[in-house]
């Protein structure tokens, strides 16, 4: 009797160990490619092009799966194995927990890559602030000042697409970004807002890029006027419309924090007989919800408050305004998931080891009886 050819089953392929090995191999190759790209273009470029992308363009022409796509496929593979391939019985509880822990780990990595945000805050001794700057995202800010009060509006520069007007609420102004430069250098008077912007090649480290924008400002009385904004300028561009002075600035995107942080003192210790830093820390005062307390932020000892983590990132001792401390401010929605996944994997490995030991003992006992 002739045997029927085996039919291809999608569930069998999705849950197969061969797919797992292939995806892990692809992930390893992406890590190598990201490391090489990081050496040439910097960490931010490697994150955007490989580690946080769905498609990676090899040599700019050949599309390959990015780390996000490989991670999602591996998640589907492990979930399919958990549903269709593993056996649900007490002896297999360890393997079930290991697979569940890996699923939580992959899910946590995806949540962190999509919803985590990183900001920077620099304070001098005695200075306080309740805001932090984005590391790489820029915004166009417009504000007026009257009687000591500032009325400000800001928009993400990525949302202001070229030739799409942005009407400022409450004002009779309309802004249109004619051109945006990822990296540029000015020529002319930057303070007057009349400089020419010369496009420059993007730097390997995205933090070294100084963007610029050519903005058209339309006022019902004055008509349309061009405005050149440069992120490297320390002073805003001031223009007068309808008898009021308006300040324009292209700056790093700012967020309001749920606290106000004040740098009380910066501390640094060095290795004996050298100037090499051994450790450095900041003593800060936290003001939140009408309450104040003093805390210490040190290397590998961040301050956590309402979903934000403040890490000691850098410092400057002999700046123009004295000692200063720079904090990396991170908001990570899935920061507890790696701990949960590690606990599940560790517990699963223990149960699997105990189960294998018990099975071996039963075989030895059965062999002795026979």
pLDDT tens, the chain, 370 aa long: 444 444 457 788 888 999 999 999 999 999 998 888 887 777 777 888 888 899 988 877 888 899 999 999 999 999 999 998 888 888 889 999 999 999 999 999 898 888 888 899 999 999 999 999 998 888 999 988 877 788 888 888 877 877 678 887 666 788 888 888 989 988 765 444 557 888 898 877 777 888 999 888 888 777 788 888 998 888 888 888 877 888 999 999 999 999 999 999 998 888 888 778 788 899 999 999 889 999 999 988 999 998 899 999 888 887 666 789 999 999 988 888 999 999 999 999 999 999 899 888 888 877 666 5
CB 116 within 8 A of CB 307: no
CA proximity to 173, closest of 224, 243, 139, 214 = 224
**Which of 320-342 are b and which e, b meaning 16 or more Cβ less than 10 Å from the residue's Cβ?**
eeebbbebbbbbbebbebeeebe
Beta bridge partners of residue 215, listed in sequence order: 177, 227
Q: Which residues are bridge partners to 330 per DSSP? A: 118, 309
Take residue 274 and report the two structure tokens written for it: 């050298």
285, 262 Cβ separation under 8 angstroms: yes
> 10 Å Cβ neighbour count for 308?
19
pLDDT of residue 245: 87
Res 250: pLDDT? 92
Closest CA to 90 of 369, 354, 368, 361: 354
Q: Yes or no: say if 67 and 81 are a contact pair by the CB < 8 Å rule.
A: no
Q: What is the pLDDT of residue 367?
A: 67
Give dist(CA 159, CA 309) in Å, integer. Answer: 27
77: closest CA among 17, 9, 8? 17
H or E stretch at 285: strand 277-288
Strands 128-146 and 149-156: antiparallel
Cα dihedral 96, 101, 102, 106 sign: positive
Give one word for 289, left, alpha or beta, with left for phi > 0 and alpha for psi -120 to 50. left
**Phi and psi of 106, rounded to 5°?**
-65, -40
Strands (E), 147-243: 149-156, 166-167, 174-181, 184-187, 196-199, 212-219, 223-230, 237-241
């Amino acid at each position: 009797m002739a045997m029927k050819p085996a039919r291809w089953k999608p569930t069998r392929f999705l849950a197969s160990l061969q797919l797992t090995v292939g995806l892990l191999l692809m992930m390893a190759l992406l890590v190598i490619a990201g490391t090489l790209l990081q050496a040439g273009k910097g960490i931010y470029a490697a994150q955007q092009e490989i580690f946080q992308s769905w498609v990676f363009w090899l040599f700019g022409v050949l599309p390959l799966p990015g780390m996000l796509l490989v991670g999602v496929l591996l998640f589907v593979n492990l979930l399919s194995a958990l549903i269709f391939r593993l056996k649900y019985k007490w002896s297999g509880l360890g393997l079930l927990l290991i697979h569940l822990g890996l699923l939580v780990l992959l899910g946590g990595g995806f949540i962190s890559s999509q919803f985590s945000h990183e900001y920077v805050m620099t304070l001098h001794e005695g200075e306080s602030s309740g805001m932090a700057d984005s590391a790489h995202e820029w915004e166009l800010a417009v504000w007026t000042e009257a009687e000591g009060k500032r009325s400000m509006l800001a928009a993400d520069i990525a949302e202001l697409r070229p030739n799409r007007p942005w009407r400022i609420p409450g004002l009779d102004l309309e802004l249109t970004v004619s051109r945006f430069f990822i990296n540029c250098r000015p020529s002319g008077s930057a303070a007057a807002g009349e400089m020419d912007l010369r496009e420059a090649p993007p730097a390997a480290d995205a933090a070294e890029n100084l963007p610029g924008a050519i903005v058209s400002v339309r006022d019902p009385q004055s008509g349309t006027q061009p405005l050149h904004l440069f992120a490297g300028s320390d002073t805003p561009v001031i223009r007068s419309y309808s008898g009021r002075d308006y300040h324009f600035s292209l700056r790093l995107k700012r967020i309001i924090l749920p606290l106000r942080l004040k740098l009380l003192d910066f501390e640094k210790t060095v290795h004996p007989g050298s100037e090499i830093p051994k450790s450095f820390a900041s003593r800060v005062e936290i003001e939140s919800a009408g309450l104040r307390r003093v805390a210490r932020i040190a290397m590998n000892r961040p301050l956590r408050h309402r979903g934000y983590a403040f890490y000691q990132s850098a410092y400057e001792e002999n700046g123009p305004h004295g000692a200063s401390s720079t904090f990396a401010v991170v908001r990570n929605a899935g920061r507890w998931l790696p701990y949960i996944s590690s606990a599940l994997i560790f517990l699963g490995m223990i149960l699997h080891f105990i189960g294998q030991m018990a099975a071996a003992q039963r075989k030895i006992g059965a062999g002795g009886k026979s």
